[in-house]
Each structure stands twice: as structure tokens, then as C-alpha cells.
Chain A
Amino acid sequence: MTRSLRFPAILLAAAFVASACGGGGGGTSPAASEPGASASGGASGGPATSGEAGTINVLSLWGGSEEEAFKKVLEDFTAKTGWGVNYEADRQTYSTTLQSRITGGNPPDIAIIPGIGFLRRFAKDGSLKKIADLGVDTAGLSSNYPEGFLAAGTVDGELYALPAKYNNKGTMWFRPDVYSDASVTTPKTWDEFKAALDKTVDKPGAMSLGAKDDWNLTDWFESIYIRQSGVDAYDKLFSAEGDWADPSVQKTVDTMLEVINDKYVVGGVEAAVGRAWTDAIAQVFKPEPEAGTFYEGGFVGGIATTQTNKDLKIGETIDWYPFPTIDNTEDVTTFGGDVVGALTDSEGAKAFMTYVVTPEANTVWASTGAIVSPNKGVATDSYPNELVVREADSLKNAAQIRYDGSDLLPAGIQGEQMGQLLQRAIAGDTVDWADFQTRVKAAWDNE
């Protein structure tokens, strides 16, 4: 055996090298969760900064440019308060890590919480501390944050988490060069949008879609629903009183299918269901585009310009316009984002939560260009590029903004989730929304 084992050993070493290279690709990061900006995998720990007051543990799911930006904030925190920070980041298995540390009785002091369903679960579990108990001036918060953002961190009337960063989800990304070649002006209404897709169908293609990451579909659904049925219906649908059997749900799916179909989606819908969303971004923003339009939140800009194609020029090869209006012409949009909460009430955790809501902290953060800050005290000129400035403005000026609905749904829906149902819906299946309603209701009741 010895002789024949030596050869496999060399191959084994080669395989590890190959797999290490494959893992870093990021482009097809398969189980990529809903992002802020980048898709760097795995866990990374930052060097602990020492502070004379003590050290706190901070757990986040941010990688890449978001992580760099957050570390600047942490450095500023240490400089201002004297507290050191032991920073840990885990992108791929964030929920597992956080949950097992809580269950194991070793929670981090501060955690970034992605998604409000997630927040509610930890708040109801009693794992999260109330903001009011952490010495944060809750009355003063409303002058620093718009109402919609604080509402996102509230569970059962109690504030448990503070808005950290957000992205507008009403951004339709496009190639200005493709649009001008096809003589398309940026559409404002749904009909104009369909006309624009029609004109770009073969020059070079209308729209790309990466529906393997099914949250791309829930974002489509939410953006259409809030513009079609209005804010009140949206609020109701994504609350415990929601009724998924309501005809408005199927109506939104039908509207989705007007553009998500084999005619407009490059490569066809079936291929799109097997495609990672980062690959879909590449289809539009690589040097030789296959399509002119891609819909997803504001974070697409960061990924496209820093990871897909560094030669993109704002206004020439990359830009965005607001998601077209449908029946409801009010200026509404959805947003998604991460909130920050405290899992211990240590002095360090209190110091951090007090610090993180200050305009100064948010300005440090915003100036990196990696995030959009919900803090009203951040001046628009703090942002380094025009795409982000416009994204921040669009939310500031919107008449009504609402949190990403699928993130509001309870975590424990049994069986097929909203995004998975939508995957089947775009593939041509008829979805039993009444059955989904039963399961959503059970999950709400059970929460």
C-alpha cells in the first residue's frame, strides 16, 4: 500500500490547493444569504483592539468592504470611549454561530442582527436586552432616526435594536449605454418599463435574474406589491393579520410574470432559477453585457463596481432609476438593512449602544461608502460617490418607506417559504397561497 499511497497524497495536496482557490471565487457563492455588499465567505476574526476600560465582543456578518468600514467605526469607538473590541465576523453561518453562542451561555456583547424575523425571535427568546435598559436616550432617538427605521427594531412595543445600516430596495439597475443604444429613456411607470424591456430584448437582452437566491424573488414581490396594492395592504400582509389567500397576492404574482418570463429573462426562467444572483449581476455589468437591466437593492452598485467590473463608469455603464410605479403612484419604497442589538447589559455593551447612535459614529461609517446610514445627522456629502448619495436621498425623500416584508415574516414557517413558492410560481406552477396562509398563520400564532 505504501507505494500506491504516495501518489494519492500528492493529488490530495493538489486538491486542497484547488479547493482553496475555488472557495475564494465568490462569484457563484451558492448559499449566499441576503447581503449588504460583498460575498466574502467564512469566518474572520479581527485583531482585538485593547482599551483601558475593558473589552467587548462584537459579532457581525459583514465581510469585505462592509467589514473594513465597520472596523473603522470600532476603532473610533475605542478611541472615544476607551473600550477595546474583540471583533468576530461570520458570514455564511451567522445564524448558527449566534444561536449556538446564545444557547451555550456565551453570547457576544453586541450582535448585528440581519432581518426582523430574526430580531423578533431573539427578542421573544429573551436573549436581547431592551434598548431602554442600556442607558440609551430612547426619547432622543426619534430626532436622529426616521420613524420607519425605529419601528423596524421594535418588538411588542419595546425597542430592542437600533438601525445600523440600510439599503434602498427600490433601485432598478441598468446599463445606460445599452439603454441609449436602444433609444430607451429611463421608464417611470410599469408600462414604460415593459416597453423598455421590449426595446432591449435582442440588444443585447432585456433583463437578468438570479433566482437561485430566492430572496431576489421576494424583493421583486414586495416592490410590486407595495406599489400595486399600497402601503396599508403591505403592512397588513406582512403582519400577523395578513391574508395570503387574498387576491392581491396572486395579482402581484401575475404582474411579476409580465416581466419575469422567458421573453425578457436572459437564458429563460428555468436557467434563472438555477443561477446565483451574483452571476446575474455579472450578466449585466461585465464588459460585454448580455442584458440591460437587473433589479435588486442599492448594494448591487458596490458589488458591480468593486467585484464584477472595476471599469464601470457611473452614468455611462452603470446607473439606477427608481422601481417603476404601478397602480399606486405615491412615492413609496421598501428598504432592507441590519440592526444592531445588545445581548448583555455589560458596561461595554451600554457604551457601544450609546456610541453607535451618534451622528459622529454614523459619519465615520458613511464616509467609507460601504453603507448608507439611517442617521439623520449624517450629511449627504459624507458619502464618497453619487450612487450612494442618490440612494440615501431617495429614502430620505420618499413619502412612505417600509421594511423588507419577507424579513418581517416569522422565522418558523413550516415547509415551503415565500421565496421558494415564488421560485415555483415563476417556473409556471400554480401556487396554493391558501395553504401558505395556513402555515404563515400557524407560525405567527406560534411565535
Chain B
Amino acid sequence: MAVVAPGGVDPSGLPTATPVPAASPATKIAGRRWDAATLLFLGPPAILLAVFLIYPTIYTIFLSFNRGRRGEFTEWVGLQHYIGLLNDKAFINVSTFPPSGAIWNNVLWAIFYTSLVIFLGLIVAVLASRVRYESIIKAVVFLPMAIAATALAIIWNFVYAPDPNIGLLNAILDPFTDRGISWLGNPGLVNAALIAAGIWGSVGFATVILSAALKSIPTEVLEAARTDGANERQIFFRIILPMVSLPISVLAVTLLVNVIKLFDLIYVLTNGGPGVSSRVIAFTMYYESIPGGQFGRGAAITVVMLILLLPIMAYNIRRFRSSRVV
């Protein structure tokens, strides 16, 4: 069957439909050739990325220097939007201690939401792996992940309602308090309440990821440690924790990105209130752009978000390059 079609295959064994120059080493990148097939496979995603990602990004950056009526370029205003944002106490206010404003609220979210989700997720994963009904526990903890964020927010709206007849928490606290606690109406409590709802919604995700990571630790390692006389605490801190540190960092990056994108929970539960005390960056972007009609200012906020996301993305890309774990 060694039939060679006339002119079908060149000596290098590649189809000749696109005659690759003989000096192929020059066109070889990491052992690949840029031929028609390559372009065919890379072209569509490249076009999609250009149209739906690169062009909008550039457009947004330009828009942030423009008045931006209707989201179109109408009048160039230079850095006006950025200066306005720095002076906007609802965006960032460092004149008081603790600071306040949307950026600061995002910082609170980044610290408490990220760390507590990982902490609780790890605890559930480790404890659940030691019992027989592990899958049931994981399913229950994972359940909130299956709920749309807006539905989750509505559930928590009932939990936090100030009236004991409606609000679950206040119904529980009713015998002990004179008056219901206004979880979402008190500027001092509102961020903690929102973060708690966010944690409830994400612990399941952390549990599933970390649980898989725990399973990937070879039992030989653990057995060897036990044979050497390590107690369970030592095994956890000296063996398990270092071995799941990479999944934890992946998780942390994902959660941080979630924090910066955070919008739906705030929109449904508090609409940024009371006053502006629970606004976050993404919510402010929506608020200034759509109800406020200030698309230029909204674009400037988006650029701020982009700048905050860049280091996280850079870290992510570097990690993708350096390792293929997870």
C-alpha cells in the first residue's frame, strides 16, 4: 500500500498544499510550523479575542479620557474622570480611619472573604475526608454554588430582614434583643453581613477544589510520616498543607478575581447602601455608567479595575508557564 500520490508529500513528510520554504528552521517555533492548518485553528479564536476582548479594552481605555455621552466619543476631557474619582469620597476616602469608599470595601472583601473561604473550605475538606459520608457533606456544602448569585442574595435578604417575622437571624435573636438588628441598614455591619453571605456562597467551591487536592496526596507519603511517628497535627501542618499550597494559591487568585468583579450580591442586597457604605468598585462602575449616564467616568473605573487585576493576571500567567499542576 505504499502508494505516494503524485506531488502529494514532500520529502519532509508534510502536505505540499502550502509550500513551506525549505528553510523551515526559520519558521519553526518551538517545534511547530506556521502553515494553513495552524492559521485555521488559531485564526477564529484570535479574531474572537480581538473583537470581543482587545477592541473593547482599547475602546474603554480611550473612553475613560472622554466625556462619553451614550458611550460614544463626544468630548475629550483628559484626566478629569480620574481626578474626579480620587476626590470622590464614595470611591475612596482615606481622610478617616478606617478608610471608606468602594476601593476600601473591596480591600475588606479581598482580605476577609478570600481568607475565610479558603480557611473554611480547607477545614471542611480535611474533616470530611475522614468520615464515611463525605460525599453527602460535600454536596451540602457545595449546594450554594448551584444557586445563582441573585437568588442567593434574595435568600440572604430574608435572613437579614430587620423584622423578626421575616428575618431569620432576627427571629433567632428576638428573645435576646430589644429591637431587631438592622444587618443591612447599619453602615458598620453591612459589609460584614455581605461578606458573610458571599462566604456562604463560595465555601463549597473551595471545599471541592481542596478536597480533590487532598485526594491527590499519595497515601505513601502520609503512611511514611505516620511510620516515622508524626502526629496528626504535624501531618497536617508539615505535609498536607505544603502539598496543597499550590491549589490554595490557585483558589486565592480565583477568589480575588471574583472580589474585584463583585457586583450582583451588592446590587440585589443593598444597592450600595445605606448611603454608599457597601459600594464596591464594580458596583460603582455600574452605578455611574447606567443610572448615572456617565459612561466616561464608568470607563475610568473599569480601567482602575483593570489595573488592579493586572498583577493577579500576570501572576496567573507566570504560574501557567512554570507549572502544569492542578
A19: Cβ under 8 A from any B Cβ: yes
| B146-A11 in contact (CB<8A) | yes
| B293-A28 in contact (CB<8A) | no
B194: min CB distance to chain A, Å? 12
In the bound assembly, the distance between CA atoms of A198 and B269 in angstroms comes to 33
User: Chain B residues near A18 (CB, 8 Å)?
Assistant: 147, 151
| A412-B273 in contact (CB<8A) | no
Q: If the complex has contacts A30-B157, A271-B185, A415-B91, are A214 and B293 also in contact, measured as CB distance less than 8 A?
A: no
B84: Cβ under 8 A from any A Cβ: yes
Q: If the complex has contacts A30-B269, A125-B70, are A412 and B294 also in contact, measured as CB distance less than 8 A?
A: yes
| A279-B275 in contact (CB<8A) | no
A50: Cβ under 8 A from any B Cβ: no
In the bound assembly, the distance between CA atoms of A25 and B151 in angstroms comes to 11
B144: min CB distance to chain A, Å? 8
B120: Cβ under 8 A from any A Cβ: no
Contacts between chains A and B (CB distance < 8 A), count: 163
B68: min CB distance to chain A, Å? 11
A421: Cβ under 8 A from any B Cβ: yes
Contact mask for chain B residues 133-159; partner A; CB cutoff 8 A; 1 contact, 0 none? 001101110110011101111110110
Contact mask for chain B residues 162-188; partner A; CB cutoff 8 A; 1 contact, 0 none? 110010000000000001101111110
User: Chain B residues near A421 (CB, 8 Å)?
Assistant: 275
Interface of A is mostly: helix
In the bound assembly, the distance between CA atoms of A427 and B142 in angstroms comes to 38
In the bound assembly, the distance between CA atoms of A124 and B281 in angstroms comes to 28
A62: min CB distance to chain B, Å? 19
User: Chain A residues near B162 (CB, 8 Å)?
Assistant: 267, 270-272, 274-275
Contact mask for chain B residues 233-261; partner A; CB cutoff 8 A; 1 contact, 0 none? 00000000000000000000000000000
| B88-A415 in contact (CB<8A) | yes
In the bound assembly, the distance between CA atoms of A18 and B273 in angstroms comes to 27
| B84-A28 in contact (CB<8A) | no
| B274-A424 in contact (CB<8A) | yes
Residue in A31, A274, A411, A412 whose beta carbon sits within 8 Å of that of B185 in the complex? A274
**Chain A residues near B (Cβ < 8 Å):** 3-4, 7-8, 11-12, 15-16, 18-19, 22-23, 25, 28, 30-31, 95-96, 99, 102-103, 121, 124-125, 127, 211-212, 214, 267-268, 270-275, 279, 283, 411-416, 420-421, 423-424, 427
Sampled A-B contacts (5; CB under 8 Å): A95-B291, A212-B271, A268-B179, A412-B293, A413-B292
Known pairs A274-B162, A274-B183, A274-B184 / 17 extra A-B pairs, C-beta < 8 Å: A30-B270, A99-B71, A103-B70, A127-B70, A212-B270, A268-B182, A270-B162, A271-B163, A272-B185, A274-B182, A411-B291, A412-B297, A413-B292, A414-B90, A420-B273, A423-B275, A427-B274
**Chain B residues near A (Cβ < 8 Å):** 69-72, 84, 88-91, 135-136, 138-140, 142-143, 146-148, 150-155, 157-158, 160-163, 166, 179-180, 182-187, 267-276, 288, 290-294, 297
